[in-house]
Each structure stands twice: as C-alpha cells, then as structure tokens.
Amino acid sequence: MSELLRIENLSAAAEDKELLHGVSLEVSEGETHVVMGHNGAGKSTLGSVIMGSPEYKVTGGKLIFNGEDITALGADKRARLGIFLSFQNPIEIPGITLSDFLRNALEQVTGKHLKLWDFKKKLAAAMELLDMDSSYADRDLNVGFSGGEKKKAEILQLLILEPKLAILDETDSGLDVDAVKTVSKGIEEYKKRTNGALIVITHNTKILEALTVDKTHILSAGSIVSEGGAELVDEVIENGFEQFAGRE
C-alpha cells in the first residue's frame, strides 16, 4: 500500500503557545489509525492542523499528502486534494441549507457540475442510511441541530464528498448508543465505498468496533508517547494513559 499522508516532525502553536512538538506519523491508503490521549493532549490540534486551520501556526516540520507538500496550503485546497475533517463542534451557518451547502462543496471538491436531481438522489440515499429525517436537507446548516444530528450531518458530508483521508475528531463523543451505531454504519459505508483512510480521534472503543485498526498513537502533552497496533487500544481502555506518560 502506498503512502497517503506523511507528517514529519510537526510542531504547531496557537497564540504563541506550542501545542504540538515534533509529531511524526504516516498513513497509507486505506489504513485506519487511532489517536488517543487525555483531554488537552493535542489530539484535536493535530486534526485541525492536518486540515489547515488558521487558528494554529505550523512552527516546524512538514505535512506531505500524496507526495505533495501541503504545509502552506489553505483548507479548501486540502479539501480538494481529498482531506476531510469531521469537526468536534460543527459550525452553524444560518441562511444556508444543508443541501445547498453540500452541493456547493461537492462541486468545488470534484470540480464538476452536478445535476440537481442526481445530487438530491445521492443525498437522500445517504440520509436514509444515517436515519436522518429528509427535512434536515432543507434546514439551515447545523442551526438548531442537536449534538447527535450535527455529528450525523458531518458523516453525511463524509459520504457525499468521499475524501481519500477522513479525520474523525471525537465524532462519537456525546452520542447515545443508537447514534454511535448509526454513525459507525456511515463510516463503514465510507470505507466500503472508497477504501479511504481514517484517522480516528476518540476516547472510547465503541466507534472502533466495526473497524479494523491498523495503528494506534498515544498523544501526551503534544508528543506521541507510544505507538502500536489495534491491541494498544484495549491496553489503554484497561489501564489508562498513565503508563505511557513516562515512556518515550
């Protein structure tokens, strides 16, 4: 399998405070990676920096995607190259419907004009898969959505945009058991359809049950302190993060 994303010795800061210190990792096509760690360990920062959030400044290192150095690229360019971030707190956009927004995004990402009818069909199918009421398509994006609906709407976008790499930032947090199942179903479908790669940032294992984890990375205070395969997830769940704090 060929390399998709390479993070080389990446450091990043927000408001003069360094939050990531020399993080390196590689994701190959179709792989599933899990990133775990305490609150404030830098997991979400890592996800946002890969997507190119202007909130963070890259202070060192490089991001290589599909062989191209994307460290200086804007988020839209990264999206067009095939990177997707499922936001931990999706943003509300008043006045723009979910459907309009997604159609616009899809046209940008694919560079192709899509017939309204075809798009609607595609959207309806994806919404059905996610048990989303079809009325959400015509509601303003994320406005007044419950926490669970917002997360579903993120996965809906994942299914429509079909990126090469999806970063799921605590997509499972705050969801009840049924909602986690639905969201997992969406992620499975994405994997099945595209064989895309995943970076799953999470606190628990429920969302991982249906996935084959290739690699696990433990972040602590902005650095990767431990790496392993799927077995590492269980180890963390059983024994907590403390054991990794001293390792390196």
Partner 1 sequence: MKEKTQVVDIDRSRYDFRYEEDESEYLESGIAPEIIKAISDEKNDPEWMREFRLKSLEIYDHTPMVDWGPDISGLNVDSIVAYIRQKNRMKTDWEDVPEDIKETFEKLGIPQAERESLAGVGAQYDSELVYHNVRQEVAQSGVVYTDLESAMHDPKYADIIKSHFMKLVPPTDHKFAALHGAVWSGGSFVYVPKNVHLDIPLQSYFRLNAKGAGQFEHTLIILEENSYLHFIEGCSAPKYYEASLHAGCVELYVGKGAKLRYSTIENWSKNMYNLNTKRALVEENGTIEWVSGSFGSHVSYLYPMSILNGRGASAEFTGITFAGEGQNLDTGAKMVHNAPETSSYMNTKSISKSGGVSTFRSAVVVKENAKGSKSSVNCESLMLDSISRSDTVPVMDIRTKQCDVGHEAKIGRISDETVFYLMSRGLSEEQARAMIVRGFADNVSKELPLEYAVEMNNLIGLEMQGGIG
- Where b means 16+ CB within 10 Å and e means fewer, 85-124 reads bbbbebeeeeeebbbebbbeebeebeeeeeeeeebeebbe
> Is 92 or 227 the residue whose CB approaches partner 1 more closely?
92
Among 109, 187, 198, 208, binds partner 1 (CB under 8 A): 109
Kindly identify the residues of this chain, within the stretch 138-167, that bind partner 1 according to CB under 8 A.
Answer: 140, 157, 161
Q: Pick the piece of the chain touching partner 1 (CB under 8 A) from 34-42, 75-83, 130-138, 213-221.
A: 75-83
Q: Counting contacts by CB under 8 A, is residue 53 touching partner 1? A: yes
Q: Counting contacts by CB under 8 A, is residue 105 touching partner 1? A: yes
CB of 88 to partner 1, least distance (A): 12
Q: Counting contacts by CB under 8 A, is residue 66 touching partner 1? A: no
CB of 100 to partner 1, least distance (A): 9
Among 55, 69, 128, 178, binds partner 1 (CB under 8 A): 55
Q: Counting contacts by CB under 8 A, is residue 91 touching partner 1? A: yes
> Is 38 or 139 the residue whose CB approaches partner 1 more closely?
139
Among 51, 64, 129, 245, binds partner 1 (CB under 8 A): 51
Q: Counting contacts by CB under 8 A, is residue 119 touching partner 1? A: no
> Is 52 or 196 the residue whose CB approaches partner 1 more closely?
52
> What does the binding site for partner 1 look like in residue numbers (CB under 8 A)?
51-55, 57, 74-76, 78-80, 84-85, 87, 90-91, 93-96, 101-102, 104-106, 108-109, 140, 157, 161
